[in-house]
Amino acid sequence: MRNWGFPVGVHHLHEDTSLDFQLNRLATLGGGRLEEIRTVAPRIRDLADWKREFLALADRAISEDRSQNAAAYLRAAEFFMAPGDPDKRAAYERQAKLFRDLAAADFASGAVREVEVPYQSGHLPAWRLSVPEGVQRKGTVVVHGGFDSYAEELYGVVRCIPQAGYEAVLFEGPGQGSVIRCQGIPFTTEWERPVAAVLDHLHLDDVTLIGISLGGYLAPRAAAFLPRIPRVIAFDVCWDLFEAGLSTRPMPIRAMTRLLMGLRAGRLFDRLARRQIERDPFARWAFEHGSYVFGVERPYHYLRRMKEFTTRRISSRVTQDFLLLAGTEDHYMPLQHFHRQARALTNVRSFTGRIFTREESAHTHCQCGNLGLALNVMLDWIDERSSSRS
């Protein structure tokens, strides 16, 4: 079992479940300092507090020449800023510059090559990480994020993959990172299009495709329409985005939402949603951010788009080797969705499922409490499935 050096443990940092997860994400995947995060967490009651505290932590880290921490805090601050916040773009660009400075040696040495993949009227940024000298090259792994991913955040995980002998390609697709923020290209359910663009431009064929978070829908969707991809990993499960989102809401809201969506009562739903938005700043952010990355304007249209992100109708088309991951206490994705997805993959060449537990500190979304374990499970599976096809 390889030791990648990621922190292990899930900490109780906030009473709000979603904020608690985001704070843990920042401390493990994001690059923040746990002791600093623990200090500011009690002062966060709303999104204005979140922004203020993490911008302040970023400024403090910069003054102390801690660029990695500063970049993490800027990403955290930007995450919950509304699309129209004038500070949003500046925070994003500051974290990107800090990341570039930190990774300058990797880019300068050629260990990482930056590629602009033509796509629609713009391009998809991709980073190609080569296998180090002295390590046997085994193949290529293509990685993309999900609903709210940053390539800069995922880089710390992806840069481990070449050490195991696999060239890694990390790309941002429509609706993600700089593609939505700098080019305004929103999400597409037809994820086979950006994946095909990357594979074609880089002349790749025999790859393993890993989709992270919402990528648990996006990667299987791409695989369903691109049979030339031999292996796919859903890290984690994303069976149905709309149902997963509803699962966190009280039963009356779930019932009313399903009723109004079924009746296509968009105007009435918008009125009710705006009342909730006025009372709940977190609901406001969810609707505003979701509408922004999906390229829609109304809450009703946002939910209509969410309903399109489901593998229900495409799972039977997946014919690859498939690895499905889940956590027992993922607050975004109900565990029952793991079993539904597993049953629906009726035509895969092989199926492997792995459910992570609290005892492993990997029970939360995308195993943020034990990323090293999840990475080892994925790499061991790729080794096994690649060798079985040799």
Single-letter amino acid code for the residue at 387: S
Question: Which of 116, 146, 145 shows the shortest CA–CA distance to 128?
Answer: 116
Of 42-56, 269-283, 297-311, which gets the smallest average pLDDT? 269-283
pLDDT of 1: 67
Q: Check whether 378 has a pLDDT greater than 90.
A: yes
Q: pLDDT of 43-73, one tens digit each?
A: 999 999 999 999 999 999 999 999 999 999 9
CB 149, CB 177: distance < 8 Å: yes
Kindly give the residue spans of alpha helices, DSSP state H, lying in the chain.
Answer: 17-25, 34-40, 47-63, 67-79, 86-102, 104-109, 151-158, 177-181, 192-202, 215-225, 241-246, 251-263, 266-279, 281-294, 299-306, 335-344, 371-388
**Count of alpha carbons within 13 angstroms of residue 366, beta-carbon side:** 23
pLDDT of 253: 84
What's the average model confidence in pLDDT over 25-42?
94
Tokens (6 digits) for 101: 């400075």
* Sign (positive or negative) of CA dihedral 45, 294, 193, 199: negative
List C-alpha distances in Å: 268 to 186, 274, 298. Answer: 26, 10, 12
Output the CA angle 229-154-150, nearest 5 degrees.
100
pLDDT of 30: 81
pLDDT of 286: 86
Q: How confident is the model at residue 218 (pLDDT cuts 50, 70, 90)?
A: very high
What's the average model confidence in pLDDT over 342-355?
98
Question: 362 versus 282: which is more confidently predicted?
Answer: 362
Average pLDDT, the chain: 94
Question: 215 versus 259: which is more confidently predicted?
Answer: 215
Beta bridge partner(s), residue 113: 128
357-384 burial, b if ≥16 CB within 10 A, otherwise e?
eeebbbbbbbbbbbbbbbbbbbbebbee
pLDDT of 261: 87
Q: How confident is the model at residue 165 (pLDDT cuts 50, 70, 90)?
A: very high
pLDDT of 254: 85
Taking the model in full, what pTM does it have?
0.95
Of 26-40, 171-185, 221-235, 276-290, which gets the smallest average pLDDT? 276-290
Q: pLDDT of 195-214, one tens digit each?
A: 999 999 999 989 999 999 99
What's the average model confidence in pLDDT over 161-183?
96
What's the average model confidence in pLDDT over 297-314?
94
All domains of the chain in start order, with CATH? 17-101 (1.20.1440.110), 110-240+309-388 (3.40.50.1820), 242-306 (no CATH)
pLDDT of 78: 96
Q: How confident is the model at residue 389 (pLDDT cuts 50, 70, 90)?
A: low
pLDDT of 273: 87
Q: Check whether 340 has a pLDDT greater than 90.
A: yes
Q: pLDDT of 63-111, one tens digit each?
A: 999 999 999 999 999 999 989 899 999 999 999 999 999 999 999 999 9
